[in-house]
Homo-oligomer: A and B are copies of this chain.
Amino acid sequence: MSDESDSITERLAEDLRAGLFTPGSWLKQVDLQDRYAVGRAPVRKALEALAGRRLIRYEKNRGYSVHPTDNDETAQVLAIRLAIETGFAEEICAGARPETIAELRELAEQFARIVRDGPFERLYDTNLAFHRKLLLCTGNLHMVNLVDDLRLRTSPAPASQWMDRARIERSAQEHLEMVLAVEMDDSLRLASLMRQHILQKV
């Protein structure tokens, strides 16, 4: 039997992101071992790993809990993302090769297509893929992984963000403009676009 704790960690993180757990509630180990059909040891390992990544909270002798939807906290994490992503705008432009730009444009257009005719459950994934590839232009994989974690900390309830159709369409438009900025090597414009793109979700 292969190591199951890692897959459990991923599944739990994904369920956290999807907002399947009510904010502030306790992640009881027996519930999780029941839900994912594993033993308690893998559950504990997954919880500790996610706590280390600050995706969940931990209190001694009380357990692990889902972050409550704290506007102040999400604003702070968003500020971190803002500093990192805009701070790397220059490196993105410097490291973007033509074929990467083409792939970015394809992802941006794919996102726009999904905004038009669905399937809407793919919106989050393609959006994530676009931003990952954009940041990957820097070649800094550690930064990309870190931003991924920060994103998981800011969007515990994606529904509220993606509900508004006008915002989604504006996001799609901004994606395309970002590609243009990268193509023209205009890092200041890219940073500006990223800024408003990140902050619009508050």
Contacts and interface: CB of A to CB of B under 8 A. Distances in A.
Contact of A142 (B53, B76, B84, B88): B76
Interface stretch (A42-50, A97-105, A110-118, A122-130): A42-50
A49 B60 CA distance: 14
Nearest to A150: B146
A143 B49 contact: no
Contact of A77 (B50, B52, B139, B142): B142
Interface in A35-94: 44-45, 48-54, 60-61, 73, 76-77, 79-80, 82-84, 86-88, 91
Interface residues of A, number: 34
Contact of A60 (B6, B87, B146): B6
Interface of A: 2-3, 6, 44-45, 48-54, 60-61, 73, 76-77, 79-80, 82-84, 86-88, 91, 138-143, 145-146
11 contacts: A6-B60, A49-B49, A51-B52, A52-B52, A54-B142, A73-B142, A79-B88, A80-B140, A80-B146, A83-B87, A84-B84
